[in-house]
Amino acid sequence: MKPSSDIARLIEIMAALRTPGTGCPWDLEQDFASIAPYTVEEAYEVADAIARGDRLDLRDELGDLLLQVVYHARLAEEEGSFAFPDVVEAVTAKMIRRHPHVFGEARDLSPLEVKALWHAIKAQEKAEKAHARAEAGLPEKTRENGVLAGVPQTLPALTRAWKLQAKASAVGFDWNDARLVLDKIREETAEIDEALAAGDTAAIREEIGDLLFVVANLARHIGADPEGCLIAANAKFERRLRGVEDALAARGRSATDATLDEMEALWQAVKLAEKPAAGAD
């Protein structure tokens, strides 16, 4: 079988994998729920390739992500819900509908006007979708019309916290100064200290969750993505610990036989070496 740049060929391959009797036994066992974690994983791998600036990997990871879309569309087609062309039609219609300043008559809009129009169109779409669900006899989405509507449960926790807080902020439920959020962080750390002193494991977990939630809010107040902040912190930790391991290896040692004091000293040395020289640009 030859590779192809035609999306129709990819759809045919997926259909072949899912054909009973001649398809792949593993693929035939899958359903929406079992494939969903792979879909999330592939989206992260796309983001990772972008962060690394690796365009070759990005090409491949985008292909893997596209395969996930084709996979879910095939599952839906088999149960008679919709097929891949319906997915394409839905997203193209949405993009045209949400960009009347590009494809329609609403021209010469400012960025703020574009944003306001975008939200107005989305609100109209939600109302129309709710009506369509009612007409089809489908159940209403939980809290679809609430302040916090539209924030998926499956988002990474820090990202979801950021989005929940942004939704609340849109109706005025928010601090108006990042330093007030910092005061709240101090309050939460004090409550963790109290829970630790009491030895209350459940309370410790709850207070740690509160702290992470408020830290995400602080990131939002300064216009930073908390997930991105943590990704950068993870990368910095990995880089510095590898520096410690390299320094130990140069001494014929490893982390498993080094003392904590020795590793801490090397950590500080690696950290110091990362700082730009005084007066450097």
Tokens of 121: 């169109």
pTM of the model: 0.65
Tokens of 21: 């009797």
Residue 278 confidence (pLDDT) above 90: no
DSSP assignment of the chain: ----S-HHHHHHHHHHHT-TTTS-HHHHH--HHHHHHHHHHHHHHHHHHHHHT-HHHHHHHHHHHHHHHHHHHHHHHHHTS--HHHHHHHHHHHHHHH-HHHHSS--S--HHHHHHHHHHHHHHHHHHHHHHHHHTTPPPPTTTTSTTTT--TTS-HHHHHHHHHHHHHHTT-S-SSHHHHHHHHHHHHHHHHHHHHHT-HHHHHHHHHHHHHHHHHHHHHTT--HHHHHHHHHHHHHHHHHHHHHHHHHTT--GGGS-HHHHHHHHHHHHHHHSPPTT--
Average pLDDT for 143-172: 85
Residue 277 confidence (pLDDT) above 70: no
Average pLDDT for 210-227: 95
pLDDT in tens, 48-78: 899 889 999 999 999 999 999 999 999 999 9
Least confident residue range of 51-55, 181-185, 272-276: 272-276
Give the pLDDT confidence score for residue 240 in this predicted structure: 96
Domains of the chain: 7-135 (1.10.287.1080), 157-224 (1.10.287.1080), 228-274 (no CATH)
Residue 143 confidence (pLDDT) above 70: no
Give the pLDDT confidence score for residue 280 in this predicted structure: 46
pLDDT in tens, 90-115: 999 999 999 998 998 888 888 888 98
Tokens of 120: 């107005």
How many CB atoms are located within 10 Å of the residue 29 CB?
8
249 Cβ neighbours under 8 A, 6+ residues apart? none
Tokens of 182: 């910092």
Average pLDDT for 2-24: 93
